[in-house]
A and B are shown apart, each in its own frame.
Chain A
Amino acid sequence: MFEKVWDDHVVVAETAETPAVLFIDLHLTHEVTTPQAYTELRKRGLRLRRPDLTLATMDHSTPTRTEQVFGGVPIAVDSAARQVQQLEQNAREFGVELFDLQDSRRGIVHIIGPELGLTQPGKTIVCGDSHTSTHGAFGALAFGIGTTEVGHVLATQCLLQRRPKTFAINVANKLPTGVTAKDLILAIIGKIGVSGGTGYVLEYRGDCISGMSMDERMTICNMSIEAGARAGMIAPDATTFAYLQDTPRAPRGDAWAAALERWKKLPTEAGARFDRSVEIDAATLVPMVTYGTHPGMVAPVTGSVPSQGDAVFEKALAYMGLKAGEPISNVPVNNVFVGSCTNGRLSDLRNAARVLRGHKLAAGVKMLVVPGSQNVKRAAEAEGLDRVFLDAGAEWRESGCSMCLGMNGDLVPSGHYSISTSNRNFEGRQGVGARTLLASPETAAASAIRGRVTDPREFSSN
């Protein structure tokens, strides 16, 4: 599959000395990683080659408090406000479609691409953000790039790329009840390591993957970068096509039929060779939580912090304030974050709400629920999910990246334990000194009720 997409986008083939020139079908952009690229274009007197293949939104440094998004209260962080204004000016000057702060279609860039139906099988998709790997769930080749490369795509709609190797992640059998796509991807990263995918495009395969919804597939592909991979892909199938049909920007009529014909040819043929492969039995998995300071430091929620490790392990435990061999269920929880491009879709909010319904947050626990997009927010409110969160004592916010990386001021205080449905537990990621444990929305909600890390299967009757 990867080879088909790659070959179809080669403008100039690679040689021993020069990388390939690869055409990009969709360029998603946001406020944080584009300003310096536009400055470069201005300096060189260049315009956008294909504004029609470019979309801008704002998500990273935007506020999530309703009064700041819609009530005219200024953005609290001055530099963030300037960055948002800069994007508005750049979009106007260069003719890029922009979903601005109050646009009803705005959201995290990796949530809105699929929602709009812009994310499609067989496309090459890039964005100045490492979680662009999310879009691979549709059988697209999608990867994060730096700001200089953002400039390359703006000016030429192309990138210079070396062909990566291929890595099959074969996942057999169904996940047991209460075990989610998030638990599976954490287990995969724990198995292959945070640099296990470096230089590879991962293809997630097997009956476990093909039985998953698009939301679950996106959660899996989203975290490919946490294993160091260039991208992650899943073969498009009937589930993919059903998701895309009738989305606002999917092809219609004859164009839809033609697209389907093309998309059905994308999956990897049986017996195709991969440069590397691993086998995972989904039936053996339990809910997973990270205990350390990178996403590969994972343990079963029913288990313990490993009893020993290397210098990195020791440093991580010191930062996290945990002891080797300590049961995971001992870890207190002060802060809960449900949201992000990993787990900020409607089904994620439903899953967290199902556990939380009829319960209150434990004393002292603060919980923030941030929908991945305004669209997700409206859909959740239509189902009354906002009431479930508010009744439990959580906060319900406008969409954005929010507490995943705290750029907008949504921060976890130093020393506090945060159970988070996001993707990175790096030191300081959610705030200076914040101690992050990555988990599924279900585990986050269960932990919010008990005030310590909790197996969500204890709430299976909900």
Chain B
Amino acid sequence: MPAVKTIRSRTVVLPTSNIDTDQIIPARFLTSTSRAGFGKNLFADWRYDAAGNPRPDFALNKPEAQGAQVLVAGRNIGCGSSREHAAWALQDFGIAAVVSTEFADIFRTNSLKNGLVPVLVDEKTHAWLLAHPQAEVTIDVEQSTLALPDGTTVKFPLEGFARYCLLNGVDELGYLLSKSEAISRYEQAHR
């Protein structure tokens, strides 16, 4: 997992609420046995028409959205299926952080496990971001803040352990493996 310290980028906005992981990456693309290459099918059924051509009116297809690393989404992003492929697809496309007022549980966990930063903001900040696509924002993982173009910063929740993993690019498996003795003791006591 790559280390993430600061993300400075324009935003791309998908105001729809309850964007489920079937939209982020439809099930027919899940037969891959690798983590790579899901980006081209990110939001496939919204991004392409029946003939496979990009729909020019879809936010991610607009010229000004190219290169944007911050996705501002409607509330309850990532609901539905537990597929981690959703986080992989967003990252493979180039998204480094997702901003919303509410994250579905499993999607948030999957995002953090891959260094995709879930930025939970208040309604007022969210409304401003929805109304201002391509706003230049700065996400500081160390401080757990999102800075708007006018310099206003808002805090977002990120517990110490998750922050440590993001900043150092380490995943949690190493930590779990280091608890091996405690796990053995538990197993002994619960035979």
Contacts and interface: CB of A to CB of B under 8 A. Distances in A.
B and A form one assembly? yes
B45 interface: yes
Contact of B80 (A23, A130, A145, A160): A130
Scoring B87, B106, B114 by chain A CB atoms within 10 A of each residue's CB, the highest score goes to B106
Contact of B82 (A16, A36, A128, A312): A128
A144 B106 CA distance: 8
A304 interface: no
A82 interface: yes
B82 A428 contact: no
A36 B159 contact: no
Contact of B20 (A16, A128, A294): A294
Interface in B21-73: 22-23, 26-28, 30-35, 45, 50
Contact of A152 (B160, B172, B190): B172
Given A160-B172, A198-B105, A12 B31 contact: no
A148 interface: yes
B111 to A, nearest CB: 9
A452 interface: no
B179 A194 contact: no
Interface stretch (B90-98, B134-142, B145-153, B180-188): B180-188
B183 A23 contact: yes
A126 B30 CA distance: 20
Interface in B128-173: 159-161, 171-173
A428 B30 contact: no
B82 A160 contact: no
A290 B83 CA distance: 23
B121 interface: no
Contacts of A170: none
A405 B180 CA distance: 38
A146 B31 contact: no
B99 interface: no
Scoring A16, A82, A228, A230 by chain B CB atoms within 10 A of each residue's CB, the highest score goes to A228
Interface residues of A, number: 65
A21 B31 contact: no
Interface size class of B (residues with CB under 8 A): 35 or more
A160 B176 contact: yes
Contacts of A144: 82, 106
A51 to B, nearest CB: 14
B33 A429 contact: no
A146 B81 contact: no
Contacts of A312: 16-18, 74
B79 interface: yes
B183 A158 contact: yes
A312 B16 CA distance: 7
Given A21-B183, A156-B179, A195 B18 contact: yes
A79 B104 contact: no
Given A18-B161, A145-B106, A407-B28, A157 B23 contact: no
A79 B179 CA distance: 37
Contacts of B75: 195
A433 B50 CA distance: 9
Contact of B105 (A228, A429, A433): A228
Contact of B109 (A79, A146, A158, A433): A146
Interface string A30-51: 0011011001100010100100
A311 B85 CA distance: 27
Interface string B5-17: 0000000000111
A18 B172 CA distance: 11
Given A36-B34, A228-B79, A426 B177 contact: no
B182 A406 contact: no
Contacts of B79: 194-195, 228, 294
Contacts of B109: 145-146, 149
A198 B106 contact: no
Nearest to A227: B79
Given A198-B104, A294-B18, A228 B76 contact: yes
Interface in A208-255: 225-226, 228, 230
Scoring B16, B87, B109 by chain A CB atoms within 10 A of each residue's CB, the highest score goes to B109
Interface in A326-370: none
Interface string A420-441: 0000101111001100000000
Given A195-B18, A407-B28, A148 B182 contact: no
A228 B104 contact: yes
A11 B84 contact: no
A33 B175 CA distance: 22
The 6 closest A-B pairs by CB, nearest first: A17-B160, A146-B84, A79-B31, A35-B33, A146-B110, A144-B82
20 contacts: A16-B159, A18-B159, A18-B160, A23-B186, A61-B30, A77-B31, A83-B33, A130-B82, A144-B106, A146-B87, A149-B109, A152-B176, A156-B176, A198-B105, A294-B20, A312-B74, A315-B16, A406-B27, A424-B81, A427-B22
Given A152-B173, A426-B80, A432-B50, 18 more contacts: A11-B182, A18-B161, A19-B161, A21-B182, A23-B186, A32-B30, A61-B31, A83-B33, A128-B82, A152-B172, A156-B176, A156-B179, A160-B175, A194-B18, A294-B18, A312-B17, A405-B22, A427-B22
